[in-house]
């Protein structure tokens, strides 16, 4: 019996695993011999066996052809791999009425069987099938010829010129080097028997409908659906099955209730023999987006509701977890997504420069109650950010969208589609009047019909959060900034922000000490300046936080100290941004932090969890900020001088209504004062100002605030804030380092 979320089980299905691969210069496998001498042209590499779960780089590393691309600048020396054609070979025996199905290939590829051409395909997001019925009963050599990419899809370029449907981040992005994924990255199977696709809708009333259509279904077979002990069936190549579940347990997102799942099974049966079967996660829920409170006229609805309840979006942006789909394991998905759940995340945005995420990812999100915002694979390019209108590009994008919607629409975790990342004309976000986005919207409405779609993110009249535009109703869904902009600038920005949704923002920070040992050879592990050391620069090209930490703390003594100071700044800045946004719920409907994970080990980046699945200090700070009950403070800056007046408003943000007691302990190098307040939260997700703390800043190194909120049942919720006191040229480092050490103790 298949596990929930399997692509399908057939009477005969054989995965092809015994592959070899060999590299060639471009076009050589087609031409084959030299004009001058008529001899066979040599390959560029030897022929290597491919092990299951390997990318082309893994195979070459295991066979000693390349060095580990994760170390130092070795990835530079691997860039030749994407300039070769890679020819995969396997021996197969063809059963009767068989189809050869490719679930994922990165790069344009052609298929041959016993040197006979069977077809060519170029779309990494759309499966490809070849009919082998003419070769039934034969055995021979299957060849898959994968071409090197001709286009440049990296972060700096022209979105309007892109026609390829594949990932872009691996061509070089701010969070990874150029390691272009190429070759077989998902299973290749020989399949016989029926094929079905279904649209399952389960609403909170318990009504379930299953619309299906299929191919290769025998005349006397029946299509059967089973759920919650009930069975309904019919016959025919297409149809609709309906049933009613009494008093269903509802599916809620993380933090709002149980993510209750039912197992639904769709089968094709003939004479009680199962010819095809697939299991689905079925969740009874209604997910909608409604208008924000006090929203400006013409704005899109950004406020999330689940089963009629308003939910503040506590989100993260998610990038691919590896540089190639071939390496993306269920274990790593489970680890990362469990960390997201434990950080109180309720929505994950799949960024448009990466994947249409995998079934493994979506199954985990179904189980964990993590809603998903799925971008279609389009992204800004810096020089030109306008979505393509080239006919070939539109047709390829439509094929991707149709395949994606059909595959994803049955997952209860899928909340909303989006046309892509930062699609803009002269930095103004595109809307559905653009033909590219209009085509996507038509597909979503036709093939799903139950979910919202945003044209792009950012969306609205302005793409970025700009202090010069505050108070004009021009900040709808906005992006940025992605760093700590200074003290007091960072605090002024978030204290005055009026955005309806903060769809992308972040702060960079150094990696964990344990990651240094895995990404740098011993000679490179001593403290160095990113700007001066090209190996360090390779690992942190876009994210050099060292000047900011030096401005505040002076030079770090060693790598460990630099890491701690950087992680303190990232944690403080992100926590404050999130808490400031939450204080405005539901005028502001959510925060979606850039970024949760990384596909490559970076020395410094905006991620919360490193490549090795270890959280940084910012992870724990955001976990406090995203907690269901969060005592917090509004203040003006990070660094104070002795004798200055310090003032902070004390707030309680809570998803639970009721009365709370608040206690704030202020510790200035052992000089302790205590403050007590009371607050009553009358609206779920809202914030209440409980009072003000004001005093003259004494001499010392830091002000450590420990905030506690106690509900009527005696449960205590805590938060910690460390602000700095500067008496000389720089702040003392010890308080920041101690803060990070306490975060490590939470792991």
Is the per-residue pLDDT at 4 higher than 60? no
* The pLDDT of residue 40: 60
Q: Quick one: DSSP state of residue 82?
A: G
pLDDT band at 458 (very low <50, low <70, confident <90, very high): very high
Closest-CA residue to 630 (of 581, 668, 666): 581
Residues 6+ apart with CB under 8 A from 649: 633, 634, 635, 689, 691, 692
* C-alpha to C-alpha distance for 339 and 481, rounded to whole angstroms: 24
Q: How many helices (H) and strands (E) does the chain have?
A: 13, 45
* The pLDDT of residue 598: 98
Determine the average pLDDT of the residues in 513-522: 95
Determine the average pLDDT of the residues in 5-27: 77
* C-alpha to C-alpha distance for 588 and 303, rounded to whole angstroms: 8
* C-alpha to C-alpha distance for 131 and 134, rounded to whole angstroms: 8
* C-alpha to C-alpha distance for 709 and 632, rounded to whole angstroms: 10
The predicted-structure confidence for 560-579, as pLDDT tens digits, reads as follows 999 999 999 999 999 999 99
The predicted-structure confidence for 286-304, as pLDDT tens digits, reads as follows 999 999 999 999 999 999 9
- Phi and psi at residue 490, to the nearest 5°: -60, -45
* The pLDDT of residue 6: 44
Closest-CA residue to 147 (of 166, 131, 162): 166
Q: Give the strands of the sheet with 262-270, arranged side by side.
A: 9-10, 273-282, 262-270, 222-227, 230-234
Instruction: Give the pairing type, strands 116-121 and 671-681.
Output: unpaired
**If you compute the radius of gyration of the chain from its CA atoms, what whole number of angstroms results?**
28
The predicted-structure confidence for 192-250, as pLDDT tens digits, reads as follows 999 999 999 999 999 999 999 999 999 889 999 999 999 999 999 999 999 999 999 99
pLDDT band at 335 (very low <50, low <70, confident <90, very high): very high
The predicted-structure confidence for 109-149, as pLDDT tens digits, reads as follows 999 999 999 999 999 999 999 999 999 999 999 999 999 99
Axis crossing angle, helix 559-582 with helix 734-744, rounded to the nearest 10: 80
Cβ atoms of 556 and 530 within 8 Å: the answer is no
Pair of tokens at residue 138:
């034969």
pLDDT band at 32 (very low <50, low <70, confident <90, very high): low
Q: Where are the beta strands (DSSP E) in 543-685?
A: 590-593, 604-605, 629-634, 639-640, 645-654, 658-668, 671-681
- Phi and psi at residue 622, to the nearest 5°: -70, -35
Average pLDDT, the chain: 95
Determine the average pLDDT of the residues in 93-104: 95
Pair of tokens at residue 488:
């007091």
Determine the average pLDDT of the residues in 453-475: 97
Q: Quick one: DSSP state of residue 624?
A: H
pLDDT band at 497 (very low <50, low <70, confident <90, very high): very high
Question: CB atoms < 10 A from the CB of 40, how many?
Answer: 10
Closest-CA residue to 479 (of 594, 359, 641, 606): 594
SS3 387: coil
Determine the average pLDDT of the residues in 697-721: 97
Determine the average pLDDT of the residues in 345-354: 98
pLDDT band at 747 (very low <50, low <70, confident <90, very high): low
Reported residue count of the chain is 747
Kindly report the three-state secondary structure assignment for every residue of 233-269: EECCCEEEEEEECCCCCEECCCCCCCECCEEEEEEEE
Cβ atoms of 608 and 596 within 8 Å: the answer is yes
Pair of tokens at residue 546:
């060292």
Q: Which residue has the tokens 């607050």?
A: 679
Which residues on neighbouring strands pair with residue 14, listed in sequence order? 190
Residues 6+ apart with CB under 8 A from 391: none
* Percent of the chain whose pLDDT exceeds 90: 92
Torsion of CA 514, 517, 518, 521, to 10 degrees: 170
* The pLDDT of residue 12: 56
Residues 6+ apart with CB under 8 A from 145: 29, 30, 85, 87, 88, 109, 110, 111, 112
DSSP string, 412-430: TTEEEEES-BS-EETTEEP
* The pLDDT of residue 13: 74
Q: Which of 3-7, 433-437, 608-612 has the lowest mean pLDDT?
A: 3-7
Determine the average pLDDT of the residues in 678-688: 95
pLDDT band at 531 (very low <50, low <70, confident <90, very high): confident
The predicted-structure confidence for 56-68, as pLDDT tens digits, reads as follows 999 999 999 999 9
> ∠ at Cα 722 (717, 728), nearest 5°?
170
* The pLDDT of residue 2: 38
């Amino acid at each position: 019996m298949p596990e929930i979320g399997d692509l399908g089980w057939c009477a005969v299905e054989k995965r092809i695993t015994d592959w070899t691969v060999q590299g060639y210069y471009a076009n050589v496998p087609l031409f084959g011999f030299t004009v001058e001498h008529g001899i066979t042209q040599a390959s560029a590499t030897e022929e290597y066996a491919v092990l299951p779960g390997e990318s082309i780089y893994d195979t070459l590393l295991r066979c000693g052809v390349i060095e580990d691309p994760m170390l130092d600048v070795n990835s530079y020396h691997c860039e030749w791999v994407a300039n070769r054609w890679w020819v995969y070979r396997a021996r197969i025996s063809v059963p009767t009425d068989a189809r050869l199905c490719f679930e994922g290939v990165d790069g344009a590829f052609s298929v041959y069987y016993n040197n006979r051409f069977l077809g060519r395909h170029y779309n990494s997001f759309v499966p490809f099938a070849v009919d082998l019925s003419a070769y039934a009963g034969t055995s021979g050599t299957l060849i898959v010829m994968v071409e090197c990419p001709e286009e440049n899809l990296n972060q700096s370029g022209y979105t309007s010129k892109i026609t390829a449907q594949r990932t872009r981040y691996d061509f070089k992005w701010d969070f990874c080097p150029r390691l272009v994924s190429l070759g077989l990255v998902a299973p290749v199977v020989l399949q016989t028997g029926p094929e079905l696709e279904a649209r399952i809708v389960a609403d909170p009333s318990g009504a379930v409908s299953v619309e299906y259509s299929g191919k290769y279904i025998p005349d006397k077979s029946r299509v059967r659906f089973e759920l919650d002990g009930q069975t309904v069936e019919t016959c025919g190549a297409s149809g609709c099955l309906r049933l009613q579940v009494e008093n269903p347990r509802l599916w809620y997102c993380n933090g709002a209730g149980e993510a209750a799942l039912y197992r639904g099974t769709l089968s094709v049966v003939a004479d009680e023999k199962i010819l095809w079967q697939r299991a689905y996660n079925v969740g009874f829920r209604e997910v909608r987006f409604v208008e924000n409170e006090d929203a400006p006229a013409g704005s899109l609805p950004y406020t999330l509701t689940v089963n009629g309840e308003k939910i503040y979006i506590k989100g993260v942006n998610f990038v691919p977890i590896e540089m190639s789909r071939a390496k993306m394991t269920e274990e790593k998905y489970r680890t990362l997504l469990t960390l997201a759940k434990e950080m109180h995340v309720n929505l994950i945005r799949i960024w448009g420069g990466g994947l249409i995420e995998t079934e493994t990812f979506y199954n985990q999100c179904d189980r964990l109650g993590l809603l998903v915002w799925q971008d279609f694979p389009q992204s800004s390019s810096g020089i030109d950010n306008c979505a393509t209108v080239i006919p070939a590009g539109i047709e390829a994008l439509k094929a991707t969208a149709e395949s994606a919607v059909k595959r994803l629409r049955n997952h209860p975790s899928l909340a909303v589609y989006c046309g892509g990342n930062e699609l803009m004309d002269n930095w103004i976000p595109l809307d559905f009047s653009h033909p590219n986005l209009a085509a996507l919207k038509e597909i979503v409405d036709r093939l799903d019909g139950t979910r919202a779609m945003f044209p792009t993110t950012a969306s609205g009249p302005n793409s970025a959060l700009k202090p010069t535009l505050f108070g004009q109703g021009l900040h709808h869904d906005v992006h940025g900034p992605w760093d700590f902009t200074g003290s007091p600038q960072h605090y002024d920005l978030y204290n005055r922000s009026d955005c309806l949704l903060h769809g992308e923002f972040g702060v960079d920070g150094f990696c964990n000490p344990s990651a240094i040992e895995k990404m740098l050879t011993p000679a490179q592990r001593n403290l160095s300046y990113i700007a001066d050391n090209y190996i360090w620069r390779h690992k942190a090209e876009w994210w050099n936080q060292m000047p900011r930490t030096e401005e505040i703390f002076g030079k770090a003594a060693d790598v460990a100290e630099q890491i701690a100071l950087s992680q303190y700044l990232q944690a403080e800045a992100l926590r404050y941004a999130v808490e400031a946004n939450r204080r405005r719920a539901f005028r502001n409907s959510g925060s979606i932090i850039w970024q949760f994970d990384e596909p490559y080990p970076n020395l410094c980046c905006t991620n919360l969890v490193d490549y090795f699945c270890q959280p940084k200090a910012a992870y724990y700070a955001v976990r406090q900020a995203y907690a269901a009950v969060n005592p917090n403070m509004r203040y003006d800056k990070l660094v104070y001088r002795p004798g200055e007046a310090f003032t902070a408003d004390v707030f309680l943000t809570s998803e639970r209504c009721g009365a709370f007691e608040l206690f704030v302990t202020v510790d200035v190098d052992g000089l302790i004062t205590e403050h007590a307040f009371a607050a009553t939260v009358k609206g779920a997700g809202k914030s209440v100002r409980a009072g003000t703390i004001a005093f003259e800043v004494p001499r010392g190194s830091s002000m450590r605030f420990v905030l506690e909120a106690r509900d009527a049942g005696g449960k205590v919720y805590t938060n910690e804030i460390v602000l700095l006191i500067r008496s000389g040229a720089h702040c003392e480092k010890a308080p920041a380092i101690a803060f990070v050490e306490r975060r490590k103790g939470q792991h």
